[in-house]
A and B are shown apart, each in its own frame.
Chain A
Amino acid sequence: DVKVTQSSRYLVKRTGEKVFLECVQDMDHENMFWYRQDPGLGLRLIYFSYDVKMKEKGDIPEGYSVSREKKERFSLILESASTNQTSMYLCASRRAAGGNYEQYFGPGTRLTVT
């Protein structure tokens, strides 16, 4: 059974704090993604990673960075959290080749920045 887990379901942080969101997948997938989801805007891609130590900016990378030191783990970092980063954060993974591009999603982390 495929599994993508995220470190926290709910998180409350203060403005200016450094925030780490962790995502782990157990499917040996090469590709991993971080999205944020906001009402009326759907899912927007922040960063993605094709493989270990590889990363590419998505559509809204400003204010975020990522780390992929191991294949199964993809971390999203908010260097200095701001209130406009309050959102639902979703991690996903998929196989790079031989599949149908289906992405498997984690349960999400609802981050509130006060």
Chain B
Amino acid sequence: SQELEQSPQSLIVQEGKNLTINCTSSKTLYGLYWYKQKYGEGLIFLMMLQKGGEEKSHEKITAKLDEKKQQSSLHITASQPSHAGIYLCGARIQGAQKLVFGQGTRLTINP
């Protein structure tokens, strides 16, 4: 089973609508990273969250880490076609040196 669970696995939204992607673990997350991947390409770093309750924004994308540091959400406001792609969360879990990744969420924006 995945150490990081992302939901939903796939999302289709109308352009201009808001959307949320979740990333959940049963263990404490020491550093939560959100990446975006255009189809068939490498990963682009979006944001990193470390502290419980932390929230960061970049343009129309906001990411939060809950107080218990076991869940993060990525929220996109007024979605645009440029937001389409695969969103992955990655995290260090309870002292592990490596990052583990969720399975990804494929986002499609319909015009």
Contact = CB atoms under 8 A, between A and B. Distances in A.
Interface of A: 4, 33, 35, 40-45, 48, 58, 88, 90, 92, 100-108, 110
Contacts of B44: 105
A108 B41 contact: yes
Nearest to A110: B40
A105 B103 contact: no
Contacts of A102: 33, 45, 48
Given A48-B98, A100-B50, A42 B42 contact: no
A41 B72 CA distance: 19
A41 B40 CA distance: 15
Interface residues of B, number: 24
Interface of B: 2, 4, 6, 9, 31, 33, 35, 40-45, 48, 50, 88, 90, 92, 98-99, 101-104
Contact of A43 (B40, B45, B92, B101): B101
